[in-house]
Amino acid sequence: MASIDPHEVEFTAIRAQGPGGQNVNKVSCALHLRFNIGTSSLPEHIKERLLALRDQRITREGVVVLKAQQSRSQEANREDGLRRLQELVDSVAVIAPPRRATKPTRGSQRRRLDGKTKDGERKQLRGKVSF
């Protein structure tokens, strides 16, 4: 797995949103994290996959912008933001194996059709009763 160098991440302290009383109004404990994918030290194949993601947190210029405001302390928000950024990078680092097409077995096809027949018979019995 490729790890992120914290020196490549730009942190900007902002005031948090939401409840929190007077602390929210006077302390800038929330953080904006900005991580430029193009100038980072990540391997090229991971950069390409990150830029190919359709994620609203990635701008057209290739900058990941995260907002961390879960905690009341700036240090905890810094760690939370770095953890979320690392999770984003780790999600593209794993290559899924190619899917191989398979055919359903004859038995599974027969069981499926038998079930459909039974369902049709059951529904036929729900019709109007004629005397």
How far CA 118 is from CA of 7, 56, 109, 111, 127, in Å, comes to 65, 48, 14, 11, 15
pLDDT in tens, 9-50: 999 988 888 776 777 677 788 899 999 998 999 999 999 999
Q: Report, at the CATH architecture level, how domain 6-93 is classified.
A: 2-Layer Sandwich (3.30)
Residue reference for tokens 């995260």: 66
Poorest-pLDDT segment among 53-57, 73-77, 92-96, 126-130: 126-130
Cα gap 44→32, rounded to integer Å? 25
- Residue ranges per structural domain of the chain: 6-93
Confidence (pLDDT) at 1: 67
pLDDT tens per residue, range 96-127: 899 999 999 999 999 999 999 999 999 998 98
Q: How far is CA 59 from CA 6, 11, 63, 78, in A?
A: 20, 17, 5, 21
Range 70-99 average pLDDT: 91
**Can you say how many angstroms the Cα of residue 11 is from the centroid of all Cα atoms in its chain?**
22
- Which pLDDT score is estimated for 71? 86
Average pLDDT over residues 60-81: 91
